[in-house]
A = this chain, B = another copy of it.
Amino acid sequence: METKALVCIFAFYFFLTCIKSSPLQFSKETYLKTRQSFLDAEEKLKIGENLTLTVKEEKANAALMRLKYAEINASRNGAPFPPSMHFFKGKSIIEKSSVFKILQKMPKGAALHLHDISLTDIWWIVKNVTYRPNCYMCQDVNKSIKFHFYANPPPNPGCPWVLVSHQRQVSGDTSKFDQMLYNSMSLVVDDPVKTYPSIDAVWVQFLHCFDVANGMINYLPVFKDYFYEALNEFRLDNVQYIELRGLLPQVYDLNGHTYDKTTVMQIYQDVFNKFKRDHKDFSGGKYIYSSIRIKSLTDILGDVKLSIALKTKFPDYFAGYDLVGQEDPGKSLLYYIDPLLYPQQQNPPINLPYFFHAGETDWEGTPTDDNLIDAVLLNTTRIGHGYALTKHPKVLHTVKQKHIAIEVNPISNQVLKLVDDLRNHPAASLIADGYPVVISADDPSVWGALGLSYDFYMAFMGMAGEDADLKFLKQLAINSLQ
């Protein structure tokens, strides 16, 4: 908050004192003028409302807003409104929306909250990866599928490896077989409310999807191609830059050789570089190493130290450190305070940027909820989700003061059962009050989204008000690039 803002607070304070002490007595004209000033002043607080549009942008905006008003008006009169429906039901409606088609074409800046193994369309895995030679699968007694690439698969009692190509052939119905493979890696079902009755239930399946896909993604040639394809999908969705969190997983090759985390980071750098060479219009990205929040203190200290080393070795592509996984049952930032304080306790202090997931919870007043406090006290660069932020007025104050970006992932929060109707997403308040919000996609492939456009649609249509326009979208892009 700068002097100007302080002067504003003062001015508003005296305005209110003034209102309070004198009885209201308005002519209609005065009333309407006062009302307009109030509306304007409130409007000015919203994300994007301090931007001005060029003449060309104004024209585009007018067209966009006509479409937006028409779609919202239809929904207010009974047509389905995707932000208030489960994404699995609303997706096909979104895809028919003219507003959505414009959003797809618009430059959206940076996607800053993504996880490395849930970016690329699962149909790409099915149609490309599972058709490669040496791709094996097995199915255990519970019909749970695993995949792995092998030159010669080892015996695997209880879940014997068979070539996917062979299974596909004997299935007799390629398209049904491929759909089954898709389903094994996807959360999408016909009746999500019934299938996933609780947050815990949806998280179990969510993590299971990763387990299944990882068997293929972590195979070295696929690993490189998967990430390259991810960058391409985001670029085609008009995203200019991405930052992704990941575990630096154990990548393997056909000979059974595995690669350490530094080598995996090197692979990411190589793919980033190759993609940038191939696509001059793409700005690149960075990687945030992340540990699952169930590890021991010793392991986390090791991960922090590794992050410090990677930050030195890959200054252009390694961004910093985070902790990931379902936040409610996971260990809190406070639990890990010793390793997390390690970098700044060195002499001289080491700057390891943090990008903490915090407040991805509906449970107020719990240790998970308090992760938000530790995130800001540990000087986090951005906050992942920050879903519970609006229940923390002092954290909110700090976030605004220090311009800590809040990475909001609308569809993720809905699919992973924090909120049903996205008009009730707490980020609506943050948007209305000009907080440094960025919109991201978290794990789009797992729920059948692609790139950022679906989440932008939710934010634009359901979380920013009927009157939010191109200025809002432009500011989101600017926020993400700052």
A23 and B344 form a contact (CB under 8 A) = yes
Nearest B residue to A467, CB-CB = B365
B31 and A377 form a contact (CB under 8 A) = yes
CA distance A429 to B391 in the complex (A): 5
**Given A28-B338, A28-B341, A78-B198, A428–B16 Cβ distance below 8 Å?**
no
B24 and A379 form a contact (CB under 8 A) = yes
**A76 sits at the interface (CB 8 A):** yes
Set of chain B residues within 8 Å of A418, measured between Cβ atoms: 424
A402 and B27 form a contact (CB under 8 A) = no
B39 and A428 form a contact (CB under 8 A) = no
Residues of chain A in range 320-373 having any CB-CB distance to chain B below 8 Å: 328, 334, 337-338, 341, 344-345, 349, 351, 362-366, 369-370, 373
Nearest B residue to A20, CB-CB = B402
A424 and B31 form a contact (CB under 8 A) = no
Set of chain B residues within 8 Å of A378, measured between Cβ atoms: 24
Set of chain B residues within 8 Å of A35, measured between Cβ atoms: 334, 373-374, 377
**Given A16-B402, A45-B393, A349-B23, A364–B31 Cβ distance below 8 Å?**
no
**A482 sits at the interface (CB 8 A):** no
B428 and A364 form a contact (CB under 8 A) = yes
Set of chain B residues within 8 Å of A377, measured between Cβ atoms: 24, 31, 34-35, 38
CA distance A68 to B451 in the complex (A): 43
Q: Which of B9, B338, B419, B433 is in CB contact (< 8 Å) with A424?
A: B419
Q: Which of B16, B17, B27, B432 is in CB contact (< 8 Å) with A393?
A: B432
A398 and B466 form a contact (CB under 8 A) = no
**A395 sits at the interface (CB 8 A):** yes
Residues of chain A in range 407-465 having any CB-CB distance to chain B below 8 Å: 418-421, 423-424, 426, 428-429, 432-433, 464-465
**A200 sits at the interface (CB 8 A):** yes
CA distance A72 to B364 in the complex (A): 11
Q: Which of B16, B26, B397 is in CB contact (< 8 Å) with A397?
A: B16
Set of chain B residues within 8 Å of A428, measured between Cβ atoms: 364, 390-391
**A41 sits at the interface (CB 8 A):** yes
Nearest B residue to A38, CB-CB = B373
CA distance A377 to B238 in the complex (A): 44
A465 and B369 form a contact (CB under 8 A) = yes
Q: Which of B9, B31, B421 is in CB contact (< 8 Å) with A362?
A: B421
Set of chain B residues within 8 Å of A1, measured between Cβ atoms: 13, 16
A429 and B19 form a contact (CB under 8 A) = no
A43 to chain B, nearest CB (A): 9
**A124 sits at the interface (CB 8 A):** no
A45 and B394 form a contact (CB under 8 A) = yes
Nearest B residue to A428, CB-CB = B391
CA distance A9 to B12 in the complex (A): 14
CA distance A383 to B370 in the complex (A): 31
Identify 15 residue pairs between A and B in the complex whose beta-carbon atoms are under 8 Å apart, listed by A's number: A19-B398, A23-B344, A24-B377, A32-B337, A34-B377, A38-B373, A39-B370, A76-B363, A362-B423, A365-B466, A365-B467, A390-B426, A391-B428, A391-B465, A393-B429
6 closest residue pairs by CB, A with B: A365-B465, A365-B466, A364-B465, A365-B467, A42-B394, A362-B423
Having A6-B13, A26-B341, A420-B420, one finds 19 other A-B pairs with CB under 8 Å, namely A12-B394, A13-B401, A26-B345, A35-B374, A42-B393, A42-B395, A84-B362, A365-B465, A365-B466, A365-B467, A365-B468, A391-B428, A391-B432, A391-B465, A393-B429, A393-B433, A418-B424, A419-B421, A424-B424
